[in-house]
């Protein structure tokens, strides 16, 4: 016989000395059983989804799990509790949305990689030229001791697990200092760790110089953009849904930008559109923005039925100077 976990008890003190009330916290046990792909299709049909070809649906669900695919069915639901679908909702529409999101994710990941490499290069160069090759090891150059230790531990973790040839070659020649110089060590750092190193660096003037290289007015703006783009990068790297996601990290957008920017701030800052604006502007500063905007426009043209409002795009967004390709 399978052993059952006993109920958990908790207590609450009362205002009367010596009296305590006890109550039981009942476990909530997940009891749903896995469904075969054939049963998944039957369930979707029972909820009102139109599936014209069972073989196509079976192939799709064998390559994309039902749990993942369900995120692209939700916009067609008439009732979020019962999951019944709106009239004329089709399996093919969900597949189209999935394919759009997949292409969008690839486009964004490629753009963010270009930004990440440039940012890494500038941080290494600026900080090393002023403070030497091992600035990231010097606690006096950083604002917060706790964050300094966390960042160094993250770098050490990457170093210990690295299979890179340039790291192996370095340690064949040198055993001190503990870390290789910044231009080697920081090549191992994740975008998140790289961003945290920048946040915690005490010299704001040199941080501002890097921000200015990206045509941004202050280092605080760059820091907020790094947080937002880093979060988006992680979603892309883990193949998560992007198009209508709610993002917790909000970039600063109301500042004195010197390049082409947006004028309509009556937008949802937690939606994708705002981060896309940051990426486009960032790439513009590197003279790479036109290619990104062209590809994004091509993607929207390929999938005209996708609701860009769900991504946070305002009306007439294409009239903004940032998105006016002829001015880029």
Residues 64-83 pLDDT 10s: 999 999 999 999 999 999 99
Co-location of 306 and 173 in the same domain: yes
**How would residue 22 be classed by pLDDT, with cut points 50, 70 and 90?**
low
Co-location of 169 and 260 in the same domain: yes
Q: With beta carbons less than 8 A apart as the criterion, state whether 85 and 48 touch.
A: yes
Asked which of 48, 82, 98 is the last residue of a domain, the reply is 98
Q: With beta carbons less than 8 A apart as the criterion, state whether 312 and 272 touch.
A: yes
Co-location of 118 and 169 in the same domain: yes
pTM for the complete prediction? Answer: 0.89
Q: Please check the confidence at residue 14 and state whether its pLDDT lies above 60.
A: no
Co-location of 167 and 78 in the same domain: no
In a domain, 212, yes or no: yes
Co-location of 114 and 259 in the same domain: yes
The Cα–Cα gap between 132 and 218 comes to 24
The Cα–Cα gap between 166 and 153 comes to 20
In a domain, 183, yes or no: yes
Co-location of 152 and 46 in the same domain: no
Query: What pLDDT is recorded for position 269?
Result: 95
Asked which of 98, 119, 142 is the last residue of a domain, the reply is 98
Q: Higher-confidence residue: 195 or 30?
A: 195
Predicted confidence (pLDDT) per residue in 154-213, tens digit:
999 999 999 999 999 999 999 999 999 999 999 999 999 999 999 999 999 999 999 999
Tell me the average pLDDT across 24-49. 91
Asked which of 46, 81, 98 is the last residue of a domain, the reply is 98
Q: Could you tell me how far CA 295 lies from the centroid of its own chain?
A: 20
Tell me the average pLDDT across 213-231. 97
Annotate 176-200 with b (16+ C-beta within 10 A) or e (fewer): eeebbbbebbbbbbbbebbbbbbbb
For residue 178, what are the β-bridge partners? none
For residue 12, what are the β-bridge partners? 21
Tell me the average pLDDT across 128-132. 97
Closest-CA residue to 294 (of 328, 259, 260, 321): 328
Tell me the average pLDDT across 116-120. 97
Calculate what percentage of the chain has a pLDDT beyond 70.
91
Other beta carbons within 10 angstroms of residue 75's beta carbon come to 16
Query: What pLDDT is recorded for position 1?
Result: 46
Q: Please check the confidence at residue 10 and state whether its pLDDT lies above 60.
A: no
Co-location of 146 and 116 in the same domain: yes
In a domain, 63, yes or no: yes
Query: What pLDDT is recorded for position 242?
Result: 96
In a domain, 22, yes or no: no
Question: Dihedral sign, CA of 115, 116, 122, 123?
Answer: positive
Query: What pLDDT is recorded for position 27?
Result: 83
Tell me the average pLDDT across 268-297. 97
Co-location of 76 and 174 in the same domain: no
| Number of domains observed in the structure of the chain | 2
Co-location of 122 and 136 in the same domain: yes
Co-location of 128 and 191 in the same domain: yes
Query: What pLDDT is recorded for position 78?
Result: 95
Closest-CA residue to 280 (of 230, 323, 223, 229): 323
Query: What pLDDT is recorded for position 284?
Result: 97
Tell me the average pLDDT across 88-107. 98
In a domain, 23, yes or no: no
Q: Please check the confidence at residue 4 and state whether its pLDDT lies above 60.
A: no
Other beta carbons within 10 angstroms of residue 6's beta carbon come to 8
The Cα–Cα gap between 205 and 203 comes to 6
Domain hosting residue 58, numbered range = 37-98
Query: What pLDDT is recorded for position 84?
Result: 97
Co-location of 182 and 286 in the same domain: yes
In a domain, 307, yes or no: yes
In a domain, 25, yes or no: no
Predicted confidence (pLDDT) per residue in 309-324, tens digit:
999 999 999 999 999 8
Closest-CA residue to 286 (of 126, 121, 105, 108): 121
Co-location of 78 and 222 in the same domain: no
Q: Please check the confidence at residue 8 and state whether its pLDDT lies above 90.
A: no
In a domain, 184, yes or no: yes
């Amino acid at each position: 016989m399978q052993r059952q976990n006993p109920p958990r008890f908790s207590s609450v003190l009362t205002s009367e000395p010596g009296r305590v009330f006890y109550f039981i916290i009942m476990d909530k046990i997940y009891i749903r059983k896995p469904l075969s792909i054939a049963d998944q299709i039957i369930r979707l049909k029972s909820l009102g989804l139109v599936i014209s070809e069972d073989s196509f649906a079976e192939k799709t669900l064998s390559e994309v799990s039902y749990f993942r695919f369900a995120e692209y069915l939700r916009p067609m639901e008439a009732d979020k509790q019962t999951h019944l679908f709106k009239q004329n909702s089709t399996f093919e529409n969900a597949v189209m949305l999935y394919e759009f999101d997949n292409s969008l994710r690839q486009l964004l990941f490629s753009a963010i990689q270009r930004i990440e490499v440039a940012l890494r290069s500038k941080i290494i160069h600026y900080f090393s030229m002023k403070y030497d090759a091992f600035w990231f090891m010097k606690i006096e150059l950083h604002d917060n001791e706790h964050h300094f230790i966390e960042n160094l531990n993250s770098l050490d973790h990457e170093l210990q697990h690295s299979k890179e040839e340039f790291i192996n070659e370095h340690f064949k020649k040198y055993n001190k200092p503990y870390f290789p110089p910044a231009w080697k060590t920081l090549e191992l750092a994740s975008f998140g760790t790289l961003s945290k190193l920048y946040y915690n660096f005490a010299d704001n003037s040199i941080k501002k110089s890097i921000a200015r290289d990206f045509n941004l007015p202050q280092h605080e703006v760059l820091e907020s953009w790094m947080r937002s783009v880093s979060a988006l990068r992680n979603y892309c790297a883990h193949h998560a849904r992007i198009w209508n996601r709610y993002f917790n990290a909000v970039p600063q957008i109301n500042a004195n930008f010197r390049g082409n920017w947006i004028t309509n701030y009556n937008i949802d800052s937690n939606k994708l559109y705002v981060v896309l604006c940051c990426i486009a502007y960032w790439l513009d500063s590197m003279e790479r923005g036109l290619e990104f905007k062209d590809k994004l426009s091509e993607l929207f043209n390929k999938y005209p039925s996708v609701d860009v409002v769900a991504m946070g795009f305002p009306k007439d967004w294409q009239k903004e100077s940032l998105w006016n390709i002829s001015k880029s």
